Amino acid sequence: MKVLLIGSGGSTHALAWKFLLDDRVQQVYCAPGNGGTALLAQNVPYTPGRPQDLASWAWNERIDLTVVADDAALADGVVQAFRFLGLTILAPAAELLGACTSRSEARAFCARLGIPTLPGVACADLTALDAHVANQVWPLRLRPDGVHTSSWTTVAHDVTAARRAAPLILGASATETNPARVLVEEYVGGIEASASAFVMGQAVGPVVLSYVHRHRDDKGQGPATDGLGAYSPLRAGLTDPAGTVARIRSEGLEPLARALDFRGILHLDVLLTPDGEWRALGLRATFGDPEAQVVLPRLAGELLDALNGQPGSWHDEATCGVVLATEEYPHPVGTALPITGLDDLDPGVLIFHHATALPTRRQDLALVATGGRVLTVVGRGPDIIEARGRAYRNVERIRLAGGRYRTDIGAREIVFA
């Protein structure tokens, strides 16, 4: 079987790794992929805004299965281009793609199904923002409406703070194919997490919880990012973790599966409130990043079987992923930086690449960083203490000029244990 993964980040690398553990998978292609995927799969070009070119390539190459690894590609028309040629691509039906690329549409969709959610209003400019917040109770949370980005999420305590944050969100989340909007919602305290399950039509497999550390600095300080670390499972702050998972499955994922009727991975971004309730914040049909890096290693059985309606259970082991980033992140990186030390890591520790490349001209330089988030180092163990210990022991051995990482990934699990 030939599999095509559309994406370039760590989730694409993690999917390629998991697929290639299956002897039935003959070849994995990644479009456009990164330096890590080039080491175990085959990278192919992909130009955003021209999904028909990739679809034509997949048709000529006789690709058996295409999986969208990045949410941004869903908004790029890639699903429609592949289905027009009769190619198998795992994604929701076309009329529901909006719910997977817009938080406000996802919440409206959840509300229609009776799924607990947190209402929000999407504003395209400051005029709409002013009109909406005029009669609201502060504080309010502002975040990008596009589900494929989490940067610039903020809590505003007055209209001045909201007007200051909105342009940053609009500027950070705009794409050529998806105009930016600010989602304004009531501020509700709690833990934001991901609940994930494989679905096949109306059948929902076992659910797994994971947590992503969004801010750049320790203790949740600094600017919001798309994720500088993650771990699974999530237990801290939950009085009844198993009961919470069961409720999210029955009250959220099962109604969604019945309505969506598709094959693949289904995620609910959820808010777990201090009073034991939960609310849906967003809907995704692709793995998040670095969420995929800690969830996929816990999947028992083959990924191909899980996508064909025979999902295995989730291993009891814990996983902890620490993201190594450049000093400038989340600001743009101008030059390629050499990465060394990857050949001196402990057996069993997983490395998934985000923004890396293999130079074609300088043979003395094996691997370089090409973006802000560079690698995710994933440790595994019987509990979070051992998993995070392995992750940190190994991330310290990797050399990247100006490289930085958070030192508290997964620490909240130990504090609350």
Query: Taking the alpha carbons of 124, 151, 76, 66 in that order, is the dihedral positive or negative?
Result: negative
Q: Which amino acid does the sequence have at 161?
A: A
Q: According to the model, what pLDDT value does residue 173 have?
A: 59
Angle at 95 between CA 93 and CA 96, to 5 degrees: 70
Contact present, 231 and 319 (Cβ < 8 Å): yes
How large is the C-alpha radius of gyration of the chain?
20
Q: According to the model, what pLDDT value does residue 174 have?
A: 57
Q: How many residues does the chain have?
A: 417
Strand partners, 144: 182
Strand partners, 352: 376
Give me 127's structure tokens.
Answer: 């005029």
In terms of phi and psi (left: phi > 0; alpha: psi -120 to 50; beta: otherwise), the region of 286 is: beta
Domains in the chain with CATH codes: 2-94 (3.40.50.20), 119-186 (3.30.1490.20), 191-416 (3.30.470.20)
Contact present, 138 and 109 (Cβ < 8 Å): no
Pick out the chain residues at pLDDT < 70: 94-95, 147-152, 172-179, 360-365, 416-417
Q: According to the model, what pLDDT value does residue 295 have?
A: 97
Query: Tokens 């406000």 appear where?
Result: 104
Q: According to the model, what pLDDT value does residue 7 have?
A: 93
Give me 190's structure tokens.
Answer: 């709690």
Residues 6+ apart with CB under 8 A from 5: 12, 15, 16, 19, 28, 29, 30, 31, 33, 37, 41, 66, 67, 69
Strand partners, 229: 322
Q: How far apart are CA 375 and CA 310, in angstroms?
A: 31
Angle at 8 between CA 229 and CA 193, to 5 degrees: 35
How far apart, in Å, do the first and last CA atoms of the chain sit?
A: 44
What does pTM read for this prediction? 0.93
Task: Quick: pLDDT tens for 289-313.
Answer: 999 999 999 999 999 999 999 988 9
Q: According to the model, what pLDDT value does residue 400 have?
A: 94
Contact present, 162 and 119 (Cβ < 8 Å): no
Give me 296's structure tokens.
Answer: 């996929």
Contact present, 184 and 132 (Cβ < 8 Å): yes
Q: What is the mean pLDDT of the chain?
A: 91
Distances (CA, A) of 193 to 206, 271, 279: 16, 6, 10
Q: According to the model, what pLDDT value does residue 100 have?
A: 83
Residues 6+ apart with CB under 8 A from 393: 346, 379
